[in-house]
């Protein structure tokens, strides 16, 4: 005798998973259609910017943006490496602003790349956004605590110094 | 019927009637998955690849022609 009830439960679960994957696929397609105009714009201004760009580092950066604009693995690696990147940004000493050939064009290339790469993998895009929010809140909390501890130490030192001065003046 | 009960019932079924189990559970599962993948390939992956090809064409179109080496 065949136990149909557990077999049908298994198939039901499998169909639900397939339905969810297909729904995600449809979302991905709609997003790709939405992002297409931005990708074409990115291709246009990115290639034009490459032609006028002199700095080899900046050229490599723009080429990276253009090559990975449709790469779904980019956000997967960003989400995995984000904690390390965040700590690196916090502890690095040099904080110089990089000079770009044309700042407004560069920032619009970056904006278009962000839209394009988010449309390539919205699931991990949301993960990265949540990571950014969580780490920012954490850093604000930690930074706030450090400022409070510094103030408390300074207050203590001042009080101690005041007490010493008072003791010396009376003697 | 909870998921542990389903798993136990399926394991018992596999022990008692392996051939019937093979036909009704893994084989049917593979057919369902293959159908879903085929559907995804036609409806989702192909249009997205076409958009990718459009993007690469746009890049080539706007690229500055490189000067030939003398």
Average pLDDT, integer, range A124-132: 94
pLDDT digit string, tens, across residues A17-65: 999 999 999 999 999 999 999 999 999 999 999 988 888 889 999 999 9
Kindly determine whether residue A43 and residue B59, on different chains, have CB atoms separated by under 8 Å.
Answer: yes
| pLDDT for the residue B67 | 60
Q: Establish if A6 touches chain B: CB-CB under 8 angstroms.
A: yes
Contact A62, A53 (CB under 8 A): yes
Contacts of A6 in chain B (CB under 8 A): 1, 5-6, 9-10, 13
Cross-chain Cβ contact A6/B10 below 8 Å: yes
Using the predicted structure, report yes or no on whether residue A171 has a pLDDT greater than 70. no
Question: Quick one: pLDDT at residue B68?
Answer: 63
Q: Which residues of B touch A34 (CB under 8 A)?
A: none
**Over the stretch B15-29, which tens digit does the pLDDT of each residue have?**
999 999 999 899 999
For the segment A98-121, what is each residue's pLDDT rounded down to a tens digit?
778 888 999 999 999 999 999 999
Tokens at residue B69, please?
């080496």
Tell me, what's the pLDDT at A136?
86
Instruction: Give the Cα separation of A118 and A142 in Å (integer).
Output: 29
| Residue B22: per-residue pLDDT | 92
Residue A145, pLDDT score? 78
Residue A168: pLDDT band by 50, 70, 90 thresholds? confident
Q: Which residues of B touch A28 (CB under 8 A)?
A: 44, 48
Residue B70 has pLDDT above 60, yes or no: no
What are the DSSP calls for A6-20, one per residue? Answer: HHHHHHHHHHHHHHH
Residues A52, A56, A57, A61, CA torsion sign: positive
pLDDT score for A142: 80
In contact, A31 and A72? CB cutoff 8 Å: no
Residue in A3, A7, A32 closest to B48 by CB: A32
Nearest CB neighbour to B51, from listed A9, A10, A32: A32
Question: How many whole angstroms from its chain centre is CA A18?
Answer: 30
- Cα distance between residue A114 and residue A118, in whole Å: 6
Is the ipTM reported for this complex over the cut 0.95?
no
**Distance between terminal CA atoms of chain B?**
77
Share of chain A above pLDDT 70, in %: 96
Does A29 contact B54 at a Cβ distance shorter than 8 Å? no
Between CA B37 and CA B25 the distance in angstroms is: 18
Interface test with A, best of B24, B47, B49 (most A CBs within 10 A): B24
Q: What proportions of chain B, in percent to the nearest 5, are helix, strand and coil?
A: 85, 0, 15
Q: How many helices (H) and strands (E) does chain B have?
A: 4, 0
- Chain B hits for A2, CB-CB cut-off 8 Å, are 13, 17, 20, 24
- Segment A83-93 shows an average pLDDT of 81
**Structure-token pair, residue A8:** 């049908």
Confidence at residue A49, expressed as pLDDT on a 0 to 100 scale:
93
């Amino acid at each position: 005798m065949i136990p149909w009830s557990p077999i049908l439960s298994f198939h039901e679960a499998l169909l639900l998973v397939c339905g969810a994957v297909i729904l995600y696929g449809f979302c991905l397609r709609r997003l790709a259609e939405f992002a297409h105009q931005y990708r074409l714009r990115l291709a246009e201004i990115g290639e034009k910017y490459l032609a006028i760009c002199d700095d080899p580092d900046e050229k490599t950066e723009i080429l990276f943006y253009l090559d990975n604009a449709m790469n779904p693995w980019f956000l997967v690696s960003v989400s995995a490496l984000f904690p390390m990147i965040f700590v690196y940004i916090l502890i690095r000493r040099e904080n110089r602003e990089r000079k770009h050939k044309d700042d407004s064009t560069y920032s619009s290339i970056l904006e278009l790349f962000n839209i394009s790469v988010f449309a390539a993998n919205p699931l991990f895009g949301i993960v990265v956004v949540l990571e950014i929010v969580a780490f920012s809140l954490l850093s604000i909390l930690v930074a706030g605590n450090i400022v409070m501890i510094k103030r408390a130490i300074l207050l203590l030192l001042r009080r101690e110094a005041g007490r010493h001065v008072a003791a010396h003046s009376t003697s | 019927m909870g998921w542990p009960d389903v798993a136990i019932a399926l394991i018992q079924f596999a022990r008692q009637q392996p051939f019937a189990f093979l036909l009704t559970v893994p084989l049917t599962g593979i057919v369902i998955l293959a159908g879903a993948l085929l559907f995804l390939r036609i409806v989702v992956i192909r249009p997205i690849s076409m958009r990718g090809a459009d993007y690469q064409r746009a890049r080539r179109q706007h690229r500055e022609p490189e000067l030939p080496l003398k």
